[in-house]
């Protein structure tokens, strides 16, 4: 099913924000400007543009918009293996819709409660509230982890074990500043570097 250009997670927020701005304009005129600033911010935050993933069969694509903050080999605690981890940090101005990095079947979903430290920090991967999915692809196992940030207070995941995903398919959303970690087999080759900006559903993170 195709998604609207504005994420459904934001419809009520936007309705409330613009209603408040209109009422404030009627009541206090020019003093309503802060309400309009909030409404416009909410509109850009909840945008959800259509993305067409690259046709490259060897590509693992970014699950989120943002900036690369980690490219390293480490332990994947979910599948108990050594892995290549690539982390994408989302600030409040990025699109927060999350997309599948590969084609495959969802084997497991794990939710872990936790803290809300700055998602830009390495310890966010192990200390923050997070939701992980294990995707079994034809090329290997992938773990994609949604991580709450400093002001993020809700992780939404719409898949469960047994569901099938295609690259670029929307599977979740995180509200306000957050992070997504992708764990790949160690043989995968990273195609991004620290500090690079990426687009969810579009940028190639790695190749098999």
Length of the chain: 208
Paired tokens of 102: 């590969």
Can you read off the two tokens belonging to residue 191? Answer: 């195609």
Q: What is the DSSP string of 96-153?
A: -EEE-SSSEEEEEEEEE--B---TTSTTHHHHB-EEEEEEE-SS-EEEEEEEE-SS--
* Burial class of 79 by CB neighbour count within 10 A (0 to 12, 13 to 18, 19+): middle
Q: Among residues 62, 97, 144, 178, which one is catalytic? A: 178
Is 115 a residue of the active site?
A: no
Judged by DSSP in three states, 200 sits in: coil
For the chain, what is the radius of gyration of the CA atoms? 18
Would you say 107 and 161 are in contact if contact means Cβ atoms under 8 Å apart?
yes
Which residues share a beta bridge with 108?
134
Q: Which of 79, 78, 89 is nearest to 119 (CA)?
A: 89
**Rounded to whole angstroms, how far apart are CA atoms 163 and 176?**
27
Catalytically active residues are 178
């Amino acid at each position: 099913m195709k998604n609207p250009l504005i994420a459904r997670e934001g419809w009520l927020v936007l309705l409330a924000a613009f209603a408040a701005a209109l009422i404030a304009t009627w009541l206090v005129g020019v003093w309503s400007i802060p309400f309009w600033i909030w409404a416009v911010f909410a509109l850009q935050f909840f945008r959800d543009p259509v993305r067409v993933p690259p046709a490259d069969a060897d590509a693992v694509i970014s699950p989120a918009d943002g900036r690369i903050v980690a490219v390293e080999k480490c332990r994947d605690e979910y599948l108990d293996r050594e892995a290549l981890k690539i982390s994408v940090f989302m600030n409040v101005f990025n699109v927060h819709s999350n997309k599948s990095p590969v084609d495959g079947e969802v084997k497991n979903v794990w939710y872990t409660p936790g803290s809300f430290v700055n998602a830009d920090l390495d310890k966010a991967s192990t200390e923050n509230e997070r939701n992980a999915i294990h995707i079994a692809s034809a090329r290997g196992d992938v773990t994609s982890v949604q991580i709450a940030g400093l002001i993020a207070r809700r992780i939404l995941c719409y898949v469960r074990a047994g569901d099938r995903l295609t690259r670029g398919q929307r599977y979740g959303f995180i509200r306000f500043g957050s992070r997504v970690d992708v764990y790949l087999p160690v043989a995968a080759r990273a195609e991004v570097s620290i500090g690079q900006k990426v687009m969810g559903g579009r940028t190639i993170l790695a190749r098999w």
